[in-house]
Chains A and B, each alone.
Chain A
Amino acid sequence: MAACYFDVDGTLVTSNLVHPTLYYLINQGTPLQAALRVGRALLGAPRMALAELVDRRTFNELLFASFAGISEDRMVLLAEDAFENVLRPSLYPAAKGLIEKSRAAGHDVVLVSGALTVVLQQLARYLGAQESIGNRLEFKDGIATGKLLKPVVAGPEKARLIREHAKQKGYDLAECFAFSDSYSDVPMLSVVGHPAAVNPDKRLALLAKAYSWPSFDLNHPT
């Protein structure tokens, strides 16, 4: 038994973590609340940009701090809309086909992303993925604290989570596949027997070539 582990942002969808987050921030109860939240997020933007250069995990933590104060109900309520309006339109044309092919080959499909599970689950349902591993917000009395529950899904942590997930499910990692677009996901790609670079950034494209990993983009419809 084997699984196909898919990174999401940049791999299956053109959008990144920022897009659904902005959707949430813009869609607040009143325009004033929305403006305040977006304004606060913009103030933190330079720090986030710096963090993105240094460490993906810190970036995630800073980004999700913008959710502080939003109720759990609202998070769930907006998840479907965020998927329909942000993620679904930004799916790569061939993404669904690739997932279908993976399932047809008898593999379980698992999405592994820094995105919030609440949105990720919508995408998983749409694509027919069996599971999703994403980030979870901490809630106190039904209100988001702006902190992420551990483990924070990012960079090398993805590799550990995949290893653990495979062990739990009884998958042979040597038979498993992993797909990602980003050099920051090299650890995740390295733990499986069949890594593949999808819409790779420059550094990953070079690495994929050096290690003879399959490399392709999902821009062309199939």
Chain B
Amino acid sequence: MNHPCLVTLERDSAPRVLFSGDRLVEVDLPPGTRCIYPKPPATGLKDPDAAIRYALNHPLGTDPLHSKLRPGMKVTIAIDDISVPLPPMKRPDARERVLTIVLALLADHGVEDVELIIATGIHRRMKGAEIRHMVGDVIFDAYYPERLYNHDAEDKANMVEIGKTRHGDPLELNRRAADSDLLIYVNLNFVAMNGGHKSVAVGLCSYKSLRPHHNPRTIAASDSYMDPKRSKLATDIELMGRLAHEKLNIFTIETTVNNRMFDRSLEFLTKNEDDLSGAERLKLKAMVLATSKLPQGARQAIFDKFPAPYEITGVVAGATDAVHEQTITRNFEQYCVPIDGQADVLVTGIPFISPYNVHAFLNPLLVQVLAQGYLFNMYRNAPLVKKGGTLIITHPCTDKFDHEQHAPYIDFVHRLLPETRDSEVLREKYEEKFAEDPAFIQMFRTGHAYHPAHPFFMWYWGENGRQHLGRVIVVGADNEYIPKLLGWETSPSMEDALYRAKGGELRSLDVTLLKVPPIVMGDMRLPNSNSNGGA
């Protein structure tokens, strides 16, 4: 019997509704198409605050937090940034809940030297209003901006190299965090590649420490990077994380949320289209129509307006390894759907949001990250699509960028990609040069732009997808240039895309639809083989 989240389409099945950026589009898929739907949201904790207190008092692999505190000590609390969860969650954010309890505990124990650092790594600086949304009014008013601020990876005076890994890679960390008697990391784990050793080793580091593992070879060797045990990226970051743990006193707090991304009124978007009630069908039609007619700004405003009603499903605290193991288990419980056999063609809609465009437009490079990067990597054991198979996505691929957040992306897409798509060439020839660009660095440090090395990492993020997939076909692109630049083909309709994917073969193709958002991962079981299908 099929898993409840797997639906096989029949001749009379309703069209499937996919995201195409900030539009919803209906597509007809052939009978026999296997559709993978997200699991229903796991039950949220009834009393998250009690769960946080319990986790702090019953940590894994280390002593309770209160026993580590003494008056006069220097404590730094690092916090995950706006890249998780997506979209930002309704207030109170999980981080606000954890921080409220942790800060009260610190105050009770006479710890006054406390600073909160948003572990942005080389992401953009969060704006005041975004920080307020994340940590709540009380903490914001008490700590911002002197004692609650963004990490600055380019502030050389406030970065310190704490050592080198056994491979000789330097780990440069935020000086305040490194000099603290205790570093508490407050994580919100959204996908399996978040959290664990990555929190400190990436969130508080500099470009110099990212370069050794944020590269095409590491990504190509990750199968997938959403499966930490088979992710070279995770293994390499772990090396740095362990170094951080040797030198620093770190207490990790991780939280997980369910996948209740849409409010009750929009929950039907996650349902099997054949099971929709009459009213839901009407609402869906109205949304498809509205998003096709409204101008882009209005569509973005609609989606920006509704924070996600995620619920906290777990809180674990203590030593990073032990904590993260539990977090990952809970994460997979929410997202993984067992799948038998790889498809010839994987179809998926590209939504309007990624970790790197909160409150901004999803530019072409980020479309690539979602398609060949994150969504391709939403698997365990083996990719959802066969080696050399086809990925069909729905997205307009509009040539549009947020000039504030994604300034270096524009140069990357329009100056470098026309020259080469070869990740190794881009890395060797341009990455370091970009990373030193004084204008982009200034925008990163005092504005809200991503670091100039970030677009490179975003390109590498699609490396294992690029190497595995035979072709990518875009349905609904509003131009030919961008898809071509990304190495993709375009089709005017899903029917045409599927015909092309067939490539003249007579046999019918196995088609799988990955219906996102919210997040769903395929737990692939291959027939009579332990092989990974060659990612």
Which A residues fall within an 8 A CB radius of B? 4, 94, 97-98, 101-102, 104-107, 177, 179, 194, 196, 209, 212, 214-220, 222
A4–B438 Cα distance when bound, in Å, is 9
A220–B436 Cα distance when bound, in Å, is 20
| Contact with A216, one of B154, B155, B401, B439 (Cβ below 8 angstroms) | B439
Complex A-B, nearest 10 residue pairs according to Cβ-Cβ distance, in ascending order: A196-B439, A105-B436, A214-B439, A220-B446, A212-B410, A102-B438, A101-B438, A216-B443, A216-B447, A222-B445
A62–B154 Cα distance when bound, in Å, is 44
Of A97, A101, A104, A216, the most chain B CB neighbours within 10 A belong to A216
**Whole-angstrom distance between the Cβ of A105 and the nearest chain B Cβ:** 4
A177–B408 Cα distance when bound, in Å, is 15
Whether B28 sits at the interface, judged by CB under 8 Å, is: no
**Whole-angstrom distance between the Cβ of A178 and the nearest chain B Cβ:** 10
A179–B438 Cα distance when bound, in Å, is 10
If over half of A's interface residues share one DSSP class (helix, strand or loop), that class is named, otherwise mixed; here it is mixed
| Contact with A212, one of B154, B414, B441, B447 (Cβ below 8 angstroms) | B414
CB <8 Å contact, B443 and A194:
no
B407-421 residues with Cβ-Cβ distance < 8 A to A are 407-408, 410-411, 414
Chain A residue at minimum C-beta to C-beta distance from B440: A214
Of B411, B437, B438, B447, the most chain A CB neighbours within 10 A belong to B438
CB-CB under 8 A from A215, the residues of chain B are: 403, 407, 443
CB <8 Å contact, B446 and A222:
yes
| Contact with A101, one of B407, B411, B441 (Cβ below 8 angstroms) | B441
CB-CB under 8 A from B410, the residues of chain A are: 212
Additional 4 contacts, C-beta under 8 A, given A105-B436, A214-B408:
A101-B436, A212-B407, A216-B449, A222-B155
CB <8 Å contact, A194 and B437:
yes
B19-35 residues with Cβ-Cβ distance < 8 A to A are none
If over half of B's interface residues share one DSSP class (helix, strand or loop), that class is named, otherwise mixed; here it is helix
A218–B449 Cα distance when bound, in Å, is 14
Chain B residue at minimum C-beta to C-beta distance from A2: B433
CB <8 Å contact, A212 and B401:
yes
| Contact with B407, one of A94, A104, A214 (Cβ below 8 angstroms) | A214
Of B401, B437, B442, the most chain A CB neighbours within 10 A belong to B442
B441-469 residues with Cβ-Cβ distance < 8 A to A are 441-443, 445-447, 449
A107–B398 Cα distance when bound, in Å, is 35
A140–B403 Cα distance when bound, in Å, is 51
**Whole-angstrom distance between the Cβ of A127 and the nearest chain B Cβ:** 13
A–B complex contacts, Cβ < 8 Å, 16 sampled: A4-B438, A94-B442, A97-B442, A98-B438, A101-B436, A107-B438, A177-B437, A194-B439, A196-B439, A212-B407, A214-B439, A214-B449, A216-B442, A216-B449, A220-B446, A222-B152
Known: A94-B446, A218-B446, A222-B155. A212 touches B403 (CB 8 A): yes
| Contact with A98, one of B401, B411, B414, B442 (Cβ below 8 angstroms) | B442
**Whole-angstrom distance between the Cβ of A106 and the nearest chain B Cβ:** 8
A106–B433 Cα distance when bound, in Å, is 10
CB-CB under 8 A from B414, the residues of chain A are: 212
CB-CB under 8 A from B442, the residues of chain A are: 94, 97-98, 101, 196, 214, 216, 218, 222
Chain B residue at minimum C-beta to C-beta distance from A197: B439
CB-CB under 8 A from A220, the residues of chain B are: 446
A214–B401 Cα distance when bound, in Å, is 12
A56–B408 Cα distance when bound, in Å, is 32
CB <8 Å contact, B446 and A216:
yes
**Whole-angstrom distance between the Cβ of B412 and the nearest chain A Cβ:** 11
CB <8 Å contact, B436 and A104:
yes
CB-CB under 8 A from B154, the residues of chain A are: 101
A216–B445 Cα distance when bound, in Å, is 10
CB <8 Å contact, A209 and B403:
yes
| Contact with B439, one of A97, A104, A179, A222 (Cβ below 8 angstroms) | A179
Chain A residue at minimum C-beta to C-beta distance from B436: A105
